[in-house]
């Protein structure tokens, strides 16, 4: 997984550590020095800071004390609960934190080999499509000999403070972490895809069936090593970090540390009882201030659960910031979920394997409409189709497609002022089955994401078999930036960017000719198809100048709704367009009829209801059955 890990700022951990050991000096990072500029971009707000190494703060420093857990993290004097909550989730997944903290045994302090300590550490984060290895020294900011920022329960445990420092280095300074999105940190720790869930919009508190479905989804993400966070939306400034009567805090990120179906009852009765309670466990990054309602630490509801079940769940009666809730209460109080799923692309896995396509692109403004790639959202009809366009295929009758659009981080530029992300989103259009050139006329929109100024936008959508174009955009035209587009499907989608506006002119053009017309053929439906069986499995083939477009097979019908399109760049406009219908058969497909259509170059949209006929017949009504077909013809090739 890390064969292509990139060294952040070009700093190679092994080489730097070797240099320090050979020279007998402790590492001092020139790219993130122990000065106020590494702490703030708006000026010092906390007074005199002393940078100290762990060995100056305690006698026996360690990366980990008694392993790693969510309880190791306590938020410091920085509004980065989003980062600390993500770290809490990370700490519960050994396979994940060992990727973020590589070589952790080698990096650990070794009292038997004090000469192996060089004051240098490294951590890894997934940034804009690649893993980066971030080197830091271990000088940490302190006031009155206490760590200013993230720290552990144990005064000699430093993994959380060091990971936070490496993350602050990526963003430019600690203050750049003040306020953020948990989803971003979850993705940075995993390379996964974060899916936001609006609990209010889904009405999960009121709809039991929808709530149960959501729980199963959350449970699956948790069981497959995904990371989960949640929060209660603050609608006003006064609401931020306001504590409710039930103990929960608004505008504050919580880490989800466990999801379970809890068996009620005691002894054998509980074993045979089918009743199970949907439960979820969370942790407040502050390490205190817990939920005080049903199923809280000391609540009497726990008497309904056997002692062995309580021990299995790890129920403790202490104000450590971690607590259980039943899922119904959770949906009543919380408003937002972040599900960071690890998209499995390994063919060796027993779980569902996804096919991933990764596209890198840019929104670039140019005066030339054919070269401009920053057209804004669909509200800007004159420029919308000037945005980058990516075509992909759905090759199953229906497939669940996951699409994630990520813009290049703009927060990590504190020296120029804290950068603001662009409002981004994307639309998906169903296009002709043989679309090879950029769209210049809007097609059927089948889905679209929200537009928001977060780093990522995500969409999950069931799509029918066919060809589609994704148009990633900024909300306003003329805005510029880089983006990463990730498309996940069940079978390969062959996703690629559409870069050409029309067929290119080549050295053979003079001899072979160049298209004079472009025609879009849209076969809508058929009626009254006849055959030996009461029902059939019809499909349609459109042929023009030797190029064929074939529809999927429509099962068990004589009146199929084909709704398929083909686009043809025509060198011989006077030749007809042939449409044939067949019935799928195991041995030999049965011919059901054909029609030949001629398009008028002056007619932008002509719709035909035509009778099918046999291949050798000149009569329109020799065979029962009718087709509804729409033709759109243009003399300007870039008009379709």
φ and ψ at residue 19, rounded to 5 degrees: -60, -45
Q: Which of 284, 387, 421, 583 is catalytic?
A: 284
CA distance linking residue 312 with residue 223, whole number of Å? 16
- Enumerate the H helices of 480-632 as residue ranges: 509-512
Are 385 and 491 in contact by the 8 Å Cβ rule? The answer is no
CA distance linking residue 98 with residue 85, whole number of Å? 18
φ and ψ at residue 425, rounded to 5 degrees: -175, -175
Which tokens in the block code for residue 339? 């599900």
Residue with tokens 């013809």: 633
β-strand partners of 321: none
Which tokens in the block code for residue 35? 């000065």
Are 61 and 156 in contact by the 8 Å Cβ rule? The answer is yes
φ and ψ at residue 307, rounded to 5 degrees: -60, -40
CA distance linking residue 494 with residue 484, whole number of Å? 16
CA distance linking residue 522 with residue 524, whole number of Å? 6
Known catalytic membership, residue 421: no
Known catalytic membership, residue 326: no
Known catalytic membership, residue 344: no
Are 130 and 40 in contact by the 8 Å Cβ rule? The answer is no
Reference 79, options 282, 286, 274; nearest CA is 286
Q: Which of 20, 81, 377, 456 is catalytic?
A: 81
Which tokens in the block code for residue 588? 């030999």
If one counts every other C-beta atom within 10 angstroms of the C-beta of residue 79, the result is 16
CA distance linking residue 192 with residue 343, whole number of Å? 6
List the Cα angle 351/357/362 in 5-degree steps: 145
CA distance linking residue 473 with residue 425, whole number of Å? 6
Q: Which of 62, 122, 222, 252 is catalytic?
A: 252
Cα distance between the two ends of the chain: 42
Positions marked active-site: 81, 252, 284
């Amino acid at each position: 997984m890390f064969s292509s890990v990139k060294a952040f700022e070009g700093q190679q951990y092994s080489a730097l550590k070797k240099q320090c050991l050979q020279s007998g000096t402790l590492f001092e990072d020139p790219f993130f020095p122990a000065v106020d500029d590494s702490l703030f971009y708006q000026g010092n707000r906390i007074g005199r800071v002393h940078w100290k190494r762990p060995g100056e703060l305690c006698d026996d420093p360690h990366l980990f004390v008694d392993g790693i857990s969510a309880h190791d993290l306590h938020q410091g004097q920085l509004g980065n609960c989003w980062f600390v909550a993500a770290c809490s989730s990370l700490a519960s997944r050994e396979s994940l934190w060992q990727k973020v903290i590589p070589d952790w045994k080698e990096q650990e302090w070794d009292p038997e080999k004090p000469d192996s300590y060089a004051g240098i550490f490294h951590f890894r984060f997934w940034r804009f499509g690649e893993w980066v290895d971030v080197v830091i020294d271990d000088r940490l900011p302190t006031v009155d000999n206490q760590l200013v920022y993230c720290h552990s329960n144990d005064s000699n445990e430093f993994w959380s403070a060091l990971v936070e420092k490496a993350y602050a280095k990526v963003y430019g300074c600690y203050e750049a972490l003040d306020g953020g999105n948990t989803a971003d940190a979850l993705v940075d720790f995993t390379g996964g895809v974060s899916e936001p869930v609006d609990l209010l919009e889904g009405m999960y508190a009121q709809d039991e069936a929808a709530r149960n479905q959501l729980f199963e989804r959350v449970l699956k993400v948790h069981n497959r090593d995904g990371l989960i966070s949640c929060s209660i939306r603050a609608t006003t400034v006064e609401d931020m970090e306001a504590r409710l009567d039930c103990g929960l805090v608004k505008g504050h990120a919580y880490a989800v540390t466990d999801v379970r179906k809890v068996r009620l009852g005691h002894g054998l009765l509980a074993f045979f009882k089918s009743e199970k309670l949907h439960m979820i466990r969370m942790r407040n990054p502050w390490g205190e201030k817990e939920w005080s309602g049903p199923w809280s630490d000391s609540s009497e509801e726990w008497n309904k659960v056997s002692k062995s079940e309580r021990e299995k769940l790890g129920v403790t009666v202490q104000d450590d910031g971690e607590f259980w809730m039943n899922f119904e209460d959770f949906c009543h109080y919380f408003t937002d979920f972040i599900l960071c799923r690890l998209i499995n692309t390994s063919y060796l896995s027993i779980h569902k394997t996804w096919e991933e396509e990764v596209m890198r692109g840019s929104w670039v403004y140019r005066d030339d409409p054919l070269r401009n790639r920053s057209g804004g959202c669909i509200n800007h009809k004159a420029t919308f189709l000037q945005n980058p366009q990516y075509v992909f295929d759905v090759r199953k009758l229906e497939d669940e497609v996951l699409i994630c659009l990520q813009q290049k981080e703009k927060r990590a530029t504190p020296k120029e002022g804290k950068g603001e992300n662009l409002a981004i989103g994307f639309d998906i259009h169903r296009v002709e089955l043989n679309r090879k050139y950029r769209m210049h006329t809007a097609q059927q929109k089948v889905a679209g994401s929200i537009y928001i100024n977060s780093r990522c936008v995500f969409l999950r959508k069931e799509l029918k078999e066919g060809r589609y174009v994704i148009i990633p955009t900024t909300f306003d035209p003329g805005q510029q930036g880089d983006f990463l587009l990730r498309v996940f499907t069940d079978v390969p989608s062959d996703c690629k960017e559409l870069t050409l506006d029309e067929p290119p002119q080549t050295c053979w053009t003079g001899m072979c000719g160049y298209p004079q017309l472009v025609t879009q053929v849209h076969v809508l439906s058929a009626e009254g198809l006849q055959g030996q069986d009461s029902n059939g499995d019809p499909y349609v083939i459109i042929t023009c100048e030797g190029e064929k477009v074939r529809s999927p097979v429509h099962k068990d019908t004589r009146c199929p709704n084909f709704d398929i399109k083909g686009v043809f760049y025509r060198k011989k406009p006077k030749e007809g367009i042939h449409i044939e219908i067949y019935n799928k058969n195991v041995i030999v497909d049965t011919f059901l009829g054909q029609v030949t259509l001629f398009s008028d170059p002056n007619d932008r949209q002509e719709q035909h209801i035509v009778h099918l006929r046999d291949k050798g017949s000149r009569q329109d009504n020799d065979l029962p059955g009718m087709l509804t077909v729409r033709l759109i013809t243009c003399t300007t090739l870039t008009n379709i």
